[in-house]
């Protein structure tokens, strides 16, 4: 593959920073009703400080840190260790499902222990398809820009550590492949292309969900967005309804995602990852980059360094 370093590096950074800024912007609106179009979206403090990202970005950073020090396709123990060390830092928020798995694995976490706990969670809970693995998946795309098949497997495996449910795993596979595609080819076609790679009956399932999103009037119609399906549909709708052929699409799409209400930081983080992958770090407003920060004491510049560290081997 003929990589054009500058643009690809900008968009790889965009996937990571897109998650972080959207998460931090959405955090001020979490668990609120949908926000009307005429009310501006601004950074707000509350449970989190002004500009502070939440668990979505923290868990994405865990994956990114693990990817910077080991090959995730060989072993996910580094991810398990990073997740556990974040959990042990007593984060301000953590998903119910993720907390349950991490509480189960004790102080010496391994990927295998997490997977066993995660499979048990699915067996014991009817509602195991939370949005908590989709929200953090941007970092999975970066090490596998030149290997889409491996990327699909790793996206599935990283989801499985906390979210073993098939729909949650497929959502991660679809979105991570779409993020890779957007970084390389500067469009959103990767969502459909990834669905086309699923078994036939699952293609029908996901195509129907995308059709439903396209036919909807607003992303806020997908009210149960703690569920991975509604979270993906709301993020997808926020992206498609604001589409322009200019980088302003990044801000328009993220703001539309924040307006959905309920799990706003996560829907925004999901949308922000793909929008950032398409439009790049350079499309993110400087004022947003200046304000964002969070666990473990990082800011936007640190996340740029982390993204670059993961993609560095690609340039050889």
Residues at the contact surface with Mg ion, assessed by CB under 5 A: 54-56, 265
Q: How far is the CB of 199 from Mg ion (least distance, A)?
A: 31
**Minimum distance from residue 55 beta carbon to Mg ion (Å):** 4
Q: Which is nearer to Mg ion, 60 or 72 (CB)?
A: 60
Task: Supply the minimum distance, in Å, between the C-beta of residue 99 and Mg ion.
Answer: 13
Those residues with Cβ within 8 angstroms of residue 33's Cβ, 6 or more apart along the chain or in another chain:
261
Give the side-chain half-sphere CA count within 13 A for 299: 8
CB nearer to Mg ion: give 48 or 121. 48
Residue closer to Mg ion by CB (options 54, 137) is 54
Which stretch of DSSP H or E encloses residue 60? Answer: helix 55-69
Q: Which is nearer to Mg ion, 130 or 143 (CB)?
A: 130
Q: Where are the alpha helices (DSSP H) in 163-284?
A: 166-185, 190-195, 200-215, 228-241, 248-258, 264-279
Alpha helices in 105-196 (DSSP H): 111-124, 138-141, 148-160, 166-185, 190-195
Cβ proximity to Mg ion, 58 vs 66, nearer residue: 58
Provide, rounded to whole angstroms, the least separation between the CB of residue 10 and Mg ion. Answer: 26
Torsion of CA 256, 189, 15, 12, to 10 degrees: -150
Give the residue among 189, 193, 200, 201 at the shortest CA–CA distance from 173.
193
Residue closer to Mg ion by CB (options 194, 273) is 273
Residue 216 CB: number of other CB atoms within 10 A?
16
Q: How far is the CB of 1 from Mg ion (least distance, A)?
A: 34
**From the CB of 183, what's the least distance to Mg ion, in Å?**
24
Shortest CA distance to 137 belongs to which of 166, 169, 106, 109? 169
Q: Which two tokens stand for residue 111?
A: 């990927």
| Shortest distance in whole angstroms from residue 266 CB to Mg ion | 5
For Mg ion, which is the closer residue by CB, 94 or 174?
94
Yes or no: say if 24 and 60 are a contact pair by the CB < 8 Å rule: no
Quickly tell me which residue has 């770090």 as its tokens.
Answer: 281
């Amino acid at each position: 593959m003929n990589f054009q370093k500058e643009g690809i590096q900008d968009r790889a950074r965009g996937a990571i920073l897109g998650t972080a800024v959207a998460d931090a912007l959405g955090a001020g609106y979490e668990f609120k009703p949908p926000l009307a179009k005429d009310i501006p979206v601004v950074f707000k403090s509350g449970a989190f400080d002004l500009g502070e990202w939440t668990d979505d970005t923290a868990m994405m950073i865990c994956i990114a840190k693990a990817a910077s020090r080991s090959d995730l396709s060989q072993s996910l123990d580094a991810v398990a260790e990073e997740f556990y060390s974040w959990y042990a830092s007593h984060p301000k928020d953590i998903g119910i499902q993720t907390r349950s798995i991490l509480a189960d694995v004790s102080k010496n976490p391994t990927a295998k222990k997490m997977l066993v706990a995660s499979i048990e969670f699915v067996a014991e809970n009817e509602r195991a398809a939370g949005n908590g693995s989709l929200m953090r998946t941007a970092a999975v795309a970066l090490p596998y820009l030149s290997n889409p098949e491996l990327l699909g497997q790793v996206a599935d495996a990283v989801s499985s550590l906390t979210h073993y449910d098939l729909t949650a795993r497929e959502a991660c596979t679809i979105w991570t492949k779409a993020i890779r595609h957007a970084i390389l080819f500067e469009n959103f076609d990767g969502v459909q292309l990834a669905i086309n790679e699923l078994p036939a009956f699952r293609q029908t399932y996901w195509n129907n969900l995308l059709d439903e999103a396209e036919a909807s009037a607003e992303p806020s119609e997908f009210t149960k967005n703690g569920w991975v399906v509604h979270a993906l549909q709301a993020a997808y709708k926020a992206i498609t309804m604001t589409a322009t052929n200019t980088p302003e699409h990044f801000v328009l799409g993220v703001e539309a995602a924040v307006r959905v209400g309920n799990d706003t930081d996560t829907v925004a983080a999901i949308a922000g990852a793909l929008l950032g992958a398409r439009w790049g770090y350079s499309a993110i407003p400087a004022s947003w980059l200046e304000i964002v920060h969070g666990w473990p004491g990082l800011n936007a510049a640190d996340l740029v360094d982390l993204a670059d560290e993961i993609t560095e081997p690609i340039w050889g």
